[in-house]
């Protein structure tokens, strides 16, 4: 049984019989002190046997959730202000630590979650594109929990948390809540028939993979995530601590709340008389121009309606999280369980001229909600200091009493939360965009974004991607510096002649060089060992059912 194999796992790690001394010649002083020492050792050993059990840990990640859409961060629905969007998370916040200044490393799912699980920035975990998996020489927090004797289980609901990227490491169970391969194969057969009727050829494997990604945008997964979690809680060994990870995807576009629950969308915009729907949101030509500069075409009222549909989907996910939180309380686990709720990134709704994510590093995309419940400690407090998504894993390990990730860049928040250290952190951020990379950094004062382009000669020389600064047509470097305190939405870049510009760039350089030094210290496998397999197990099953070899 997957929940019981911890016993076999830990059989080789039990403490050997304790024999502190060998028979030898000793002085009179030693003869006298040995019995006293042994008494002290026996007492110490007895006390260690009576130590409090390790805390359980539940890590909940919400995909594509803007923190400004949660009531705990001040949000009220525009067209239905009497309905709380996130009542369960809001109630949780009253019993938790809430962070107002938490940041992701990027604006898309795969690298953000890898930072969450590895304690490393994107540059250092190296899983920035979907054909890379986590280096076999890197570790995740789940591996540390498992090695410490924890039962480990995870239930995910988006394609970029597939085990092929390395997320399954350290989990007794790592299970998808998305459509099964058989269900997805059925969807693709129907689509293939429609193509044939239109005189189009059968889809290629790449097209099928694209369909799999698109289906995830309207699949309904939160109930399956919950079912997996509740089954785990019911069947686990109650004498053994557990680490449970839950990933909720239903708030991700497309915004189709009525597929989740009939009438849910209308609750959050009851007076809407337009005909704009949330289907095909990112690719709808009525939403924005489909070529640069991607200008807004949707009206402000229709955009408000889409945001109401987004609120409705967040409400749906919040309801499922509430079920899990209540189950922990009903089973008497609340006072022995750390619970962390975090998002991987947000979404843009034309704040900087675009929509969706995986594009920029501005606050609407990389500022994330973060709430942590630590039993019997620090309840209901808010922190305004900057924290990073890759600090979360080290913090959970620390409070659970589990050995740390030795190679992590992130640092446990425990010393600063308990007043023993001051916050003084900055975060490196990146997001690839075709041949270019948007590279960034921020601390509590400033943020920097720059665009890099691939340096072909240097890449060929180094046999790995190398980048250089990209310039505008008039020769200006594509670098933007913002004063976060005076310009929190980051829409007024500083002039290069402003002394704050150079101050920010100097701090960025210092952080960058420190991270590069950390990168060089990490062991690294051959590139071939860091590539994802051509197909995951689920993809292999689906392709076989469709007749692809």
Question: DSSP labels for 399-426?
Answer: HHT----TT-SS--SHHHHTTSS-----
What are 423's two structure tokens?
Answer: 């916050």
pTM exceeding 0.85: yes
pLDDT at res. 173 = 98
pLDDT at res. 8 = 39
**HSE (CB half, 13 Å, CA atoms) of 74?**
2
Return the DSSP state at 433. E
Question: DSSP labels for 60-104?
Answer: EEETT--GGGSGGGT---SS-TTS-S-HHHHHHHHTSEEEEEEE-
What are the backbone angles phi and psi of residue 270, rounded to the nearest 5°? -70, -20
Tens place of pLDDT for every residue, the chain, 549 residues?
Answer: 333 344 334 433 333 332 322 333 333 233 333 333 333 333 343 343 345 568 999 999 999 999 999 999 999 999 999 999 999 999 999 999 999 999 999 999 999 999 999 999 999 999 999 999 999 999 999 999 999 999 999 999 999 999 999 999 999 999 999 999 999 999 899 989 998 999 999 888 888 888 888 889 999 999 999 999 999 999 999 999 999 999 999 999 999 999 999 999 999 999 999 999 999 999 999 999 988 888 999 999 999 999 999 999 999 999 999 999 999 999 999 999 999 999 999 999 999 999 999 999 999 999 999 999 999 888 899 999 999 999 999 999 999 999 999 999 999 999 999 988 888 899 999 999 777 899 999 999 999 999 999 998 988 887 777 889 999 989 999 999 999 999 999 999 999 999 999 999 999 999 999 999 999 999 999 999 999 998 888 888 998 999 886
Q: What is the largest CA-CA distance in the chain?
A: 99
pLDDT at res. 535 = 87
Q: How far apart are CA 327 and CA 325, in angstroms?
A: 5
H or E segment at 175? strand 173-176
- Judge if the upstream peptide bond of residue 3 is cis by omega within 30 degrees of 0: no
Q: How far apart are CA 47 and CA 55, in angstroms?
A: 18
What are 134's two structure tokens?
Answer: 């986590």
What are 239's two structure tokens?
Answer: 């004498």
Task: Give Cβ neighbours of residue 135 (< 8 Å, ≥ 6 apart).
Answer: 125, 126, 524, 525, 529, 530
């Amino acid at each position: 049984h997957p929940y019981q194999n911890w016993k076999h796992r830990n059989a080789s790690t039990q403490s050997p019989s304790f024999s502190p001394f060998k028979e030898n010649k000793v002085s009179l002083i030693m003869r006298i002190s040995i019995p006293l020492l042994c008494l002290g050792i026996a007492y110490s050993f007895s006390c260690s046997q009576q130590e409090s059990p390790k805390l359980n840990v539940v890590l909940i990640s919400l995909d594509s959730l803007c923190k400004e859409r949660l009531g705990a961060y001040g949000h009220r629905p525009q067209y239905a202000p009497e309905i709380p969007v996130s009542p369960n998370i809001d109630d949780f916040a009253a019993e938790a630590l809430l962070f107002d200044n938490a940041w992701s490393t990027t604006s898309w799912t795969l690298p953000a979650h890898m930072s969450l699980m590895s304690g490393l920035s994107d540059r250092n975990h190296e899983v920035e594109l979907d054909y890379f998996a986590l280096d076999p020489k890197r570790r995740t927090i789940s591996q540390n929990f498992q090695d410490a004797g924890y039962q480990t289980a995870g239930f995910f609901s988006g394609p970029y948390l597939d085990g092929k990227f390395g997320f399954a490491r350290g989990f007794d169970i790592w299970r998808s809540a998305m459509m099964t391969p058989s269900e997805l194969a059925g969807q693709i057969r129907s689509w293939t028939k429609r193509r044939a009727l239109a005189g189009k050829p059968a889809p290629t494997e790449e097209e099928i993979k694209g369909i799999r990604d698109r289906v995830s945008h309207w699949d309904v997964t939160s109930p399956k995530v919950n079912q997996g979690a509740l089954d785990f809680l019911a069947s686990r060994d109650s004498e053994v601590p557990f680490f449970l990870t839950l990933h909720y995807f239903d708030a991700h576009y497309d915004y189709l709340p009525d597929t989740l629950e009939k009438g849910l969308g209308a609750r959050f915009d009851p007076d809407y008389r337009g005909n704009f729907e949330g289907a095909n949101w990112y690719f709808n030509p009525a939403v924005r121009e489909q070529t640069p500069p991607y200008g807004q075409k949707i009206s402000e009222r229709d955009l408000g309606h889409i945001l109401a549909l987004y609120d409705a989907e967040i409400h749906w996910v919040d309801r499922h999280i509430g079920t899990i939180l209540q189950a922990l309380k009903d089973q008497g686990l609340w006072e022995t369980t750390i619970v962390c709720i975090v998002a991987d990134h947000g979404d843009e709704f034309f704040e900087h001229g675009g929509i969706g994510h995986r594009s920029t590093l501005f606050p609407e995309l990389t500022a994330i909600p973060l709430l942590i419940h630590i039993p019997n400690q620090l309840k209901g407090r808010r922190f305004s200091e900057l924290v990073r998504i890759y600090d979360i894993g080290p913090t959970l390990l620390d409070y659970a009493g589990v050995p740390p990730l030795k190679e992590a860049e992130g640092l446990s928040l425990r010393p600063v939360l308990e007043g023993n250290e001051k916050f003084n952190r900055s975060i490196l951020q990146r997001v690839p965009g075709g041949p270019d990379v948007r590279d960034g950094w921020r601390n509590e004062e400033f943020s920097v974004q720059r665009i890099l382009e691939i340096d072909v000669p240097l890449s060929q020389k180094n046999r790995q991607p190398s980048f250089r600064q990209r310039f505008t047509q008039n020769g200006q470097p594509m670098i933007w510096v913002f004063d976060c305190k005076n310009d929190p939405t980051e829409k007024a870049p500083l002039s290069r002649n402003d002394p704050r510009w150079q101050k920010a760039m100097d701090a960025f350089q210092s952080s960058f060089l420190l991270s590069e030094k950390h990168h060089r210290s990490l062991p690294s496998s051959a590139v071939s060992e860091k590539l994802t397999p051509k197909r995951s197990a689920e993809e292999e099953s689906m392709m076989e059912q469709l007749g692809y070899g």
